[in-house]
């Protein structure tokens, strides 16, 4: 029998190889969205399916299970004992999940979601929910099966088993509780904004903004906050994303609208926030949990922190508006800091989540969380979803979607089988505010730093408290260690009040 | 024991999987040259090395050998018997080659050539051959070992075993013979050009040519000759190439010089010629020899045919010069068809192969062929290479390189271990002329078609006679079938005389 150290090394080698092969798939996935010619789609699907299959095979190899079994109760010693322990712990978690899923279920999910997405596209464009309904029913049935297979936690519900994939350690009852607290404070804030006579001058963001200049400005902003373009790129895609492909290579994408300023600018800041996290993961730990992002919620916290906490702050635009004016003298030359800052922080109930402001955004998430949880536990039938959505929406936002495309068909997630994913967006907003508040406290005059374009201290703080740890600590532990407190809605509520009360004269 | 049909299917499945994985590497290789951020290089090298290793493992799997052994003497029947027979024959050939190479030799070659290329870059930029000499010595010793391992054909020489990788079925003595015949006719032609008082007005090609407009024109030309941009792309790289990534996806690259017209234009036509071959391979046969290009020489014939036979013809510019003038009214508005056609066909001895005209180009190749053959058989030592090169160059071209960068250090090939590769360039020129002559005879007034921008008949002819066959026939058979004659220097010599005699008043 080999020693623990030898087994641990073998473990790293096996998981490193699977991760390396998986990162080849990331390049192909990115290329598919950016530069692949249309007729390459079929061959690309075969390439990606081959890679995914091989990675899955490597990740569920019996030898991996043997090693993890042998190392399960091992107490490592020495300087990196914490890291080793965490690597074994996290690899056991993902290994168990992977081997619990029957191959038949994995391929059935892949097949059904591929077809469901096509039908979702059709349903959304025609506004006919009926086209999508049978597919969603199938998906929900498969996701319930998945939850049973991977194991529903004691005292929990099937939804928890799905949530675990995106936000390890979180439970739906905890999330429901924290959402409920948040909701009680957002609803009156939104009502007060609605009653206010102040209106953001949003028309200044809908002037002519040359696309190549937008790109220049977005790139400058991403660079300014610390995104390393020698280790990354910014390209154009239909749906923006950030893809970390391994050490030294992280790709951001955004999209441009020649008559709207905010989409590409805040979209790029958002993806750059994700990118800073990827660029801050320890390169030497690539392929191990210690070199991997901890959860979707924490990932989203990094994007939202830079997009909203920094990027929509008055301090940021005090420093950056002159630069934007230089690039767009005709469209922004006459715009005051006060007007610009108000415009990029306009609050207004609207149907589409991805276009929502900071105040209403989390209500969009809570709606989805409650409905998808009900779909999984069976208390809501798929047939009843459209009306349930519209009723709840009207209740929360005071407006009622007129088409399913503006309602329950707007997001791709469910058609892709992503149940338990949505709440991580709101968790991200809460984590972001909590981290930003802690950083503010510890870094002194963060406002001044932001105004003067000094982003290194904040980035270093995030590197130190979040990025460098990978999955060594859980999301909950990271938040506790960084802010001294468990997850709380208070920092987010405080942030929203401090930002929007003055703007809307509340 | 399973039936031949079942074994054949299994064979296709195994080879298809290896090819599919290999095509993932093509995407990563293309990305490395086009869009990869610089800091991604190290991780990319690991990705590519993993994929190459896995592909090699699949290509040498014992099961493949068993299947090939069992099918070796099988006589297939039915409609696609020829294709099946060819697939088995070609797979045996490549399988034997792959399994004959000891793993140690493969990795040693990979290691030494990687380092040798770095040293070649340094040697070329400093002009110090001594830096590169020990690396080239090592490479030659390894290539001799490779030749022995894969098997030197009876009555042949070690060089033949290397040549076989790039031009299956060709032998160095045949090539030497055909080169010798060609040489005897090029040398007097070049001398006559040198004696002529006519000079091409090349300065018209060195005016201002906006890079984005060059791209627009190059793309238009590639599209015009039939390259399908819905199944391909054109990007910018330091060194132009064409990479077929599988059905529906073929990527061309070129480079631009804002004060030189020809580089990007003819470079793109050249790569598009390669691309048309890739796009013409039978998609359903991807991953089998029947879906793979037959040889480098035939590949090069497709690029040179479109670049030179078509692209530098007077007929082509009769049709296309007005378009070029539209795009570059200031730089080309005053240029006559006669001057432009002469300028793009200027003949002048020069040191660098990749910049050579059609007349001198093959002399560059013959020099390399003779020297690399002598290096492999040991009759020329690496230490003596620079002087041998310069002497031969002076003899053939009448000018003597003043630095090794203009001499034996100019090409990357030897540093990359590519011995036996160079002659395929000249074979490509000969094949191209022979194919073009046959097409002219069969298609009627090809000149008129080219003048009027009707390229479909020529492309269809190439698809029919070359592209669709993959490796079902050897290069020699393809040429025989398409032109009714074996490889000959006559069509190339006739083409050169017909093109350059009028230009230079010979």
B409-436 pLDDT tens trace: 999 999 999 999 999 999 999 999 999 9
Per-residue pLDDT at B1 exceeds 70: no
Q: Do A35 and B37 touch (CB under 8 A)?
A: no
Distance from C-alpha of B156 to C-alpha of B150, rounded to nearest angstrom:
13
Q: Which of A21, A44, A286 sits opposite B50 (nearest CB)?
A: A21
- Test A43 with B247 for CB contact under 8 angstroms: yes
What are A187-225's pLDDT values in tens digits? 999 999 999 999 999 999 999 999 999 999 999 999 999
Phi, psi of A243 (to 5 degrees): -130, 115
Instruction: Output the CA–CA distances (angstroms, integers) from residue A486 to A161, A178, A296, B207, B484, in the order listed.
Output: 22, 11, 17, 68, 83
Contact of B22 with chain A, judged by CB distance below 8 Å, is answered with no
Contact B231 A39 (CB under 8 A): yes
Over the stretch A8-62, which tens digit does the pLDDT of each residue have? 999 999 999 999 999 999 999 999 999 999 999 999 999 999 999 999 999 999 9
Q: Is B32 on the interface with A (CB under 8 A)?
A: no
Mean pLDDT of B324-351: 97
First-last CA distance in chain B: 70
CA nearest A372: which of A411, A340, A341? A411
Whether residue B240 is predicted with pLDDT greater than 70 in this model: the reply is: yes
What tokens does B451 get?
């003048």
Of A21, A35, A46, the CB nearest to B20: A46
Which of B37, B51, B247 minimises the CB distance to A232? B37
Q: Are A249 and B21 inside 8 Å of each other by CB?
A: no
Catalytic sites of A, residue numbers:
271
Instruction: Output the pLDDT for position A107.
Output: 86
Q: Measured between alpha carbons, how far is residue B33 from residues B29, B122, B239, B242, B248 in Å? A: 7, 20, 9, 12, 20
CB A161 within 8 A of CB A468: no
Q: Do B247 and A31 touch (CB under 8 A)?
A: no
What are the phi and psi torsion angles at B200 (to 5°)? -70, 140
Q: How far apart are CA B276 and CA B224, in angstroms?
A: 12
Q: Given the structure tokens 């950083």, which residue do they identify?
A: A439
Query: Which among A20, A25, A230 has CB closest to B38?
Result: A230
Q: Tell me the CA distances in angstroms from A506 to A309, A489, A497, one per residue in order.
A: 20, 20, 9
Q: Are B402 and B98 in contact (CB under 8 A)?
A: no
Q: Measured between CA atoms, how close is B251 to chain A, in angstroms? A: 9
Contact present, B78 and B48 (Cβ < 8 Å): no
Residues of B in contact with A21 (CB under 8 A): 50-51, 54
Q: Does A291 touch chain B (CB under 8 A)?
A: no
Contacts of residue A228 in chain B, CB cutoff 8 Å?
39
Contact call for residues B58 and B14 (beta carbons, < 8 A): yes
Length of chain B as a residue count: 506
Q: Is B27 in Cβ contact with A47 (below 8 Å)?
A: yes
Residue A22 with chain B: CB contacts under 8 Å: none
What the block records as the tokens of A306 is 């830079």
3-state secondary structure of A155: coil
Cβ within 8 Å, pair B37-A286: no
What is the least distance, in Å, from the CA of A260 to any CA of chain B? 26
Contact B116, B136 (CB under 8 A): yes
Query: Which residues does chain A have within 8 Å of residue B31's beta carbon, measured at their own beta carbons?
Result: 27, 31
Q: Which residue of B has its CA nearest to A41?
A: B248
Query: Cα Rg for chain B, rounded, in angstroms?
Result: 23
Helix, coil or strand: residue A67: helix
Residue A286 at interface with chain B, using a CB cutoff of 8 Å: yes
Number of neighbours of residue A165 by Cβ within 10 angstroms: 17
Q: What is the pLDDT of residue B114?
A: 86
**pLDDT < 70 positions in chain A:** 1-2
Residue A121 vs residues A271, A377, A405, B445: alpha-carbon distances, Å: 24, 26, 10, 50
pLDDT score at A472? 98
How far does the CA of residue A235 sit from the closest CA of chain B (Å)?
10
Chain A environment of B236 (Cβ under 8 Å) = none
What stretches of A296-336 show up as alpha helix (H) in DSSP? Answer: 296-304, 314-327, 329-332
Q: Do A245 and B50 touch (CB under 8 A)?
A: no
- Interchain contact B228–A (C-beta under 8 A): yes
CB contact under 8 A, A42 and B248: yes
Nearest-CB residue to A37 (from B20, B46, B249): B249
DSSP string of B9-29?
HHHHHHHHHHHHHHHHHHHHH
CA distances B425 to A141, A317, B304, B390, Å, are 60, 59, 9, 21
Contacts of A219 in chain B (CB under 8 A): none
> Contacts of residue A280 in chain B, CB cutoff 8 Å?
none
Contacts of B44 in chain A (CB under 8 A): 249
Q: Is A35 on the interface with B (CB under 8 A)?
A: yes
Whole-number pLDDT of residue A2:
59
State whether B39 and A228 contact (CB < 8 Å): yes
State residue B318's pLDDT score. Answer: 98
Q: Whole-angstrom Cα distance, residue B57 to residue B75? A: 28
Tens digit of pLDDT for each residue in B108-149?
998 899 899 989 999 999 999 999 999 999 999 999 999 999
Active-site residue set of B: 271
Instruction: Report the distance separating Cα B426 and Cα B131, nearest Å.
Output: 30
Which residue of B14, B19, B35 is the best one to mutate when testing the A interface, meaning the one whose CB has the most A CBs within 10 A?
B35
* CA B305/CA B296 separation, integer angstroms: 14
Interface check A17 vs B, CB under 8 A: yes
Whether A117 and chain B come into contact, CB under 8 Å, resolves to no
pLDDT of residue A1: 44
Of B17, B31, B50, the CB nearest to A31: B31
Q: How far is A41 from chain B (nearest CA, A)?
A: 8
pLDDT computed for residue B2 by the predictor:
59
In whole angstroms, give the CA distance from residue A28 to residue A46.
Answer: 11
Residues near A427 by beta carbon (within 8 Å), at least 6 away in sequence: A167, A170, A175, A297, A300, A301, A475, A487
Q: Cβ contacts (< 8 Å) between A31 and chain B: which residues?
A: 27, 31
Q: Do A43 and B228 touch (CB under 8 A)?
A: no
- The CA distance from A181 to B331, in Å, is 70
């Amino acid at each position: 029998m080999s020693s623990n150290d030898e087994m641990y090394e073998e473990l790293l080698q096996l998981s490193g190889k699977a991760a390396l092969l998986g990162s080849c798939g990331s390049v192909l996935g990115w290329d598919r969205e950016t530069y692949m010619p249309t007729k390459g789609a079929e061959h690309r699907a075969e390439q990606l399916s081959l890679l995914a299959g091989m990675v899955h095979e490597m990740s569920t190899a019996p030898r991996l299970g043997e090693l993890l079994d042998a190392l399960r109760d091992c107490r490592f010693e020495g300087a990196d004992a914490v890291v080793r322990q965490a690597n074994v712990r996290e690899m056991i978690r993902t290994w168990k999940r992977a081997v619990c899923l029957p191959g038949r279920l994995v391929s059935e999910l892949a097949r059904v979601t591929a077809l469901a997405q096509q039908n979702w596209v059709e349903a959304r464009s025609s506004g006919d929910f009926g086209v999508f309904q049978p597919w969603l029913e199938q998906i929900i049935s498969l996701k319930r099966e998945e939850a049973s297979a991977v194991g529903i936690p004691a005292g929990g519900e099937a939804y928890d088993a799905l949530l675990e994939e995106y936000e390890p350690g979180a439970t739906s009852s905890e999330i429901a509780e924290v959402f409920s607290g948040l909701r009680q404070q957002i609803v009156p804030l939104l009502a007060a904004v609605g009653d206010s006579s102040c209106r953001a001058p949003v028309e200044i963001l809908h002037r002519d903004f040359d696309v190549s200049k937008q790109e220049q400005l977005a790139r400058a902003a991403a660079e300014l906050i610390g995104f390393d373009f020698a280790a990354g790129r910014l390209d154009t895609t239909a749906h923006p994303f950030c893809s970390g492909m391994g050490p030294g290579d992280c790709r951001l994408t955004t999209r441009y609208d020649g008559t709207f300023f905010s989409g590409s600018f805040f979209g790029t800041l958002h993806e750059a926030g994700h990118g800073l996290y990827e660029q801050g993961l320890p390169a030497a730990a690539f392929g191990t949990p210690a070199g991997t992002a901890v959860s979707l919620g924490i990932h989203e916290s990094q994007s939202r922190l830079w997009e909203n906490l920094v990027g929509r702050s008055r301090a940021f635009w005090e420093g950056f508006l002159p630069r934007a004016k230089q690039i767009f003298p005709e469209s922004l030359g006459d715009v005051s800091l006060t007007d610009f800052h108000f415009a990029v922080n306009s609050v207004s109930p609207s149907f589409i989540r991805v276009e929502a402001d900071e105040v209403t955004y989390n209500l969009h998430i809570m709606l989805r969380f409650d409905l998808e949880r009900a779909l999984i536990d069976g208390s809501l039938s798929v047939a009843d979803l459209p009306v349930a959505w519209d009723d709840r929406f009207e209740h929360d936002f005071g407006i009622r979607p007129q088409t399913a495309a503006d309602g329950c068909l707007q997001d791709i997630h469910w058609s892709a089988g992503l149940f338990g994913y949505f709440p991580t967006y709101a968790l991200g907003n809460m984590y972001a505010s909590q981290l930003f508040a802690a950083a503010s406290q510890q870094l002194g005059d963060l406002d001044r730093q932001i105004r003067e374009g000094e982003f290194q201290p904040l980035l270093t703080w995030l590197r130190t408290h979040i990025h460098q740890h990978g999955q060594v600590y859980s999301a909950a532990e990271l938040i506790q260690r960084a802010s001294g407190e468990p997850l709380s809605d208070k920092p987010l509520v405080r942030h929203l009040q401090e930002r929007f009360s003055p703007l809307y004269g509340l």
